[in-house]
Structures are given as C-alpha cells and as structure tokens.
Amino acid sequence: MNLNKEKANPSQKILLTAFECLSTRGYANVSMRDIAGASGVALSQLTYYFKNKEGLFTEVINMMIHQYLLEIEDNLQAAADAKEKIESLIRFFKELIRNRPKLLRLFIDFTAQALWVPSFREQVDSLFNKLTKIIEKNILADMELGKKLRNCSAKSVAKLILGALYGTSIQIMLGSDQDSVFESLNLAESILN
C-alpha cells in the first residue's frame, strides 16, 4: 500500500488498516477492536462507516477487486496477441504469489467465508464471472485453442483456466515445496499455446 494512510480520510484509513490485519491474520482471527486500535480510531467508528464486520470486509474486498481487476485488464489489453496475453495473465498470478501473497491470502480466506455468508458468496460469484469474462474476451477470442475446443463454450474454457490458476495458486500458498508448483504455472502457459 503506497497510499498515505495518515492523510487519507478516516474511512480510507480504516479500510487500509483492515486490509493489513485481515490479510495477515485472517477474518476469523481479527476483531473489530484490533482494527480500530491499529487504525487509531474508536471502535464505534467502524460501525459508523461500515455498519458491521461483514460490511467492512465487503468493502475491503471491493477495494481490492476494483484495483486488481483493472490491473489485470490493463495488462491484458496492452499485450499484442493471444500468446502475449496468456503470458501476461500467468505473469500476473506469479507476481501475485511472489510479491503480494497477502492479497492472495485475503482472497482465499474470503472465498471460504463465502461458503457460509450469502453476501460474500454473491461477491465472489460476481468476481469469478468478471474474471471469466476477461479471460474469455481477451484470450479465447482469437486463438487456436478456442477453435480447437469449439465444441465447448468459451465460457467453460475460461472457467477451467481460471480454476487451474486459482487452484494452483492455493497449492503454492499452502505448500512447502513451491518450486514445482511454479513449474505448474509455466506448464499451464505452454499448454495454452
């Protein structure tokens, strides 16, 4: 976070601190008091701005989704052809794992919470759909894989790609031997070409 936490308005400050806490220790292990304390704000401020813990987490996730979805789409549209786009997508995931593991952890945690909290679930579903559409539009539109498998809908292909990237990333985050899974991502890239 290179945003200046001090100068931001309080709700931004809370959001950024909340991201830090949640992505470091997990939704279940962070209390509203922790976040209030860490952002130097009264507990009731959190309620005032975000109603409750669920609302706060929702906004943290929204902030992240907004930021990184744009980033992905920019990267993809900057790439010239399908091959470069795939490379860019895989690079994004690698970079996520290596340099922004907190973000990935936050998202994995969020995904699991979504199993039990309806509003989270809608959010996750919407994100998955957006990602699928991005992959579909940018990568599958004009490549031979699309033709090769045109008996399947492009949506299914995109979902499989997304699933593979996500599932592989989870293994990396949780596994002890990270190298072989990074290899898996490279492999995914070469399969797609």
Partner DNA sequence: ATGTTGGTCGGACGTACGTCTTAATTTTAT
Partner DNA sequence: ATAAAATTAAGACGTACGTCCGACCAACAT
Provide the binding-site residues for DNA, judged by CB under 7 A. Answer: 10, 30-34, 41-48, 51-54
Given DNA, a second copy, none, residue 187, with its beta carbon under 5 to 8 Å by kind, binds a second copy
DSSP class per residue in 35-88: HHHHTTS-HHHHHHHHSSHHHHHHHHHHHHHHHHHHHHHHHHHHS-SHHHHHHH
Given a second copy, DNA, none, residue 85, with its beta carbon under 5 to 8 Å by kind, binds none
DSSP letter, residue 114: T
DSSP letter, residue 141: T
Q: Is 125 in the site for a second copy (CB under 8 A)?
A: yes
Q: Which stretch binds a second copy (CB under 8 A): 13-21, 27-35, 38-46, 50-58?
A: 27-35
Query: Based on CB atoms, which residue is closest to DNA, 29 or 156?
Result: 29
**Cα 68 from Cα 101, distance rounded (Å):** 13
Q: Is 58 in the site for a second copy (CB under 8 A)?
A: no
Q: Which stretch binds a second copy (CB under 8 A): 9-17, 48-56, 68-76, 117-125?
A: 117-125
- Longest CA–CA span in the chain (Å) reads 58
Q: Is 70 in the site for a second copy (CB under 8 A)?
A: no
Please, what is the minimum distance in Å from the beta carbon of residue 177 to a second copy?
Answer: 8
The answer to whether the Cα torsion of 103, 104, 108, 109 is positive or negative is negative
